[in-house]
Amino acid sequence: MSGEQERFEKVREENRKLKMDIVELCKRPDRTKPEVVLLLGKSGSGKSSMINTICRVISGKSFQRAVTGRGAAGSKTLTLQRFEQCGLKDFELTEENRDLFEHVLHMFPTLYDAAGREYMDMESDNCKEIIELLIGGYIPKGTSVQFLEDKQREHGPGYLKVYFPESREERKITKVVLVLDWQSSFPEALAKYIMDIGSKYDDRGQPIYLFDVFAVLSKYDLVKEERSDFYDKDNNRDQKQGDELKPMTSFQEFEKTVAENLSLEGAMTHNSIRWVSYVDEHTDDNVSIDNIALKFIKQMMEPNCSGVGASSDEPDPSNRVSPFQARMEIMAIKWFREMYNKTDWVHVLLVVAWLVVTVLGFLTAKVYNN
Ligand SMILES: Nc1nc2c(ncn2[C@@H]2O[C@H](COP(=O)(O)OP(=O)(O)OP(=O)(O)O)[C@@H](O)[C@H]2O)c(=O)[nH]1
Ligand SMILES: [Mg+2]
**Spatial separation of the C-alpha atoms in residues 9 and 14, rounded to whole Å:** 9
Is residue 115 a contact partner of residue 78, using CB atoms and an 8 Å limit? yes
Comparing 27-41, 107-121, 150-164, 293-307, the range with the smallest average pLDDT is 293-307
Sign of the Cα torsion 164, 170, 176, 177 reads negative
Nearest CA to ligand 1 atom 7: 46
Nearest CA to ligand 1 atom 25: 43
Mean pLDDT of 24-41: 95
Comparing 158-162, 163-167, 335-339, 351-355, the range with the smallest average pLDDT is 335-339
Report pLDDT digits (tens) over 277-297. 998 876 889 999 999 999 999
**Residue 345, Cβ density class (10 Å: 0-12 exposed, 13-18 middle, ≥19 buried):** exposed
Nearest CA to ligand 1 atom 3: 219
Of 199, 173, 178, the closest CA to residue 255 belongs to 178
Instruction: Judge if the beta carbon of residue 223 lies within 6 A of ligand 1.
Output: no
What rounded mean pLDDT belongs to the chain? 86
Cα of 295 from ligand 1 centre, angstroms:
20
pLDDT for residue 326: 62
Q: How confident is the model at residue 1 (pLDDT cuts 50, 70, 90)?
A: low
> What does the DSSP assignment read for 284-325?
PP-HHHHHHHHHHHHHHHS--TT-TT-S-SSBPGGG---HHH
Report pLDDT digits (tens) over 205-216. 999 999 999 999
Other C-beta atoms closer than 10 Å to the C-beta of 54 total 28
Secondary structure of residue 130 in the 3-state scheme = helix
Nearest CA to ligand 1 atom 30: 219
pTM of the predicted protein model = 0.83
pLDDT for residue 322: 56
Residues belonging to the chain? 370
Beta-carbon contacts of 311 under 8 Å, excluding residues fewer than 6 positions away, are: 32, 169
**Spatial separation of the C-alpha atoms in residues 50 and 34, rounded to whole Å:** 19
pLDDT for residue 362: 86
Indicate which atom in ligand 1 lies nearest the CA of residue 43.
Answer: 25
Report pLDDT digits (tens) over 89-131. 999 999 999 999 999 999 999 999 998 888 888 878 888 999 9
Q: How confident is the model at residue 239 (pLDDT cuts 50, 70, 90)?
A: low
Mutate which of 226, 230, 279 for ligand 1 pocket (most atoms within 8 A of beta carbon): 279
Mean pLDDT of 67-71: 68
350, pLDDT greater than 90: no
pLDDT for residue 164: 94
